[in-house]
A = this chain, B = another copy of it.
């Protein structure tokens, strides 16, 4: 990717007409496919447009540059996951710790696995495309939600601080990524759910038990 001014990462215009929406969706889908089949450094705007069945020109009507195309995809997926976590946290407020973790982990993995291919594809970008900053910004919401939820646990005065929650979230992401990159068979995913619940639950409990 050639150097690009840091501005202009937003999509160029929001599609309103039906045709436009279809076009944008085709582009989005094509990006995923190319990312998966060719990898980050053979992804070219021309190739994406071709796969989407439109011309490059059209692609550039919706995204001012390549970076914004990828950035949009990354943000979209991450928002989705963050939202899922937020909702799960709201639902689990006031419950006992074990139940909380169970619920949140399930929703987190659900969100990642809905279109697991997208998740996998995005691991190929996150480093570039404003990765860390974007990640931090989007994860902040999930972080707040989790911290808030933990404070309402019915069975334990929570000692969990922001840092502990970060560690937990990063662990969940790391483990899920690892499984996704190994292929993610259904049985693997089942085990992942189980283990992540155990991991988080025991961690939170241990935190609460600290002097």
Tell me whether A58 is interfacial, beta carbon within 8 Å. Answer: no
Residues of A25-56 at the interface with B, using a CB-CB cut-off of 8 Å, are: 39-42
A117 to B146, CA, bound (A): 30
Taking CB atoms, residues of chain B closer than 8 Å to A192 are 167
- Known contacts A163-B195, A202-B205; is A40 also within 8 Å of B170 by CB? no
User: What total of chain A residues lie within 8 Å of the partner, measured CB to CB?
Assistant: 46
Evaluate whether A206 and B202 lie within 8 angstroms (CB atoms) in the complex, with A166-B178, A171-B174, A178-B166 already known: yes
Of the listed stretches A81-89, A107-115, A122-130, A148-156, name the one at the interface; the rest are far from the partner chain. A122-130
Q: Tell whether, in the assembled complex, residue B1 and residue A41 are in contact, meaning their CB atoms are under 8 Å apart.
A: yes
Classify the secondary structure of A's interface with B. Answer: helix
Q: B178 contacts A40, CB within 8 Å? A: no
| Choice from B124, B136, B177, B199 contacting A203 with Cβ under 8 Å | B199
Q: Tell me the nearest residue of chain B to A192, going by C-beta.
A: B167
A132 within 8 A of B: yes
Contact of B41 with A128 in the complex, beta carbons under 8 Å:
yes
A164 interface residue (CB < 8 Å to B):
yes
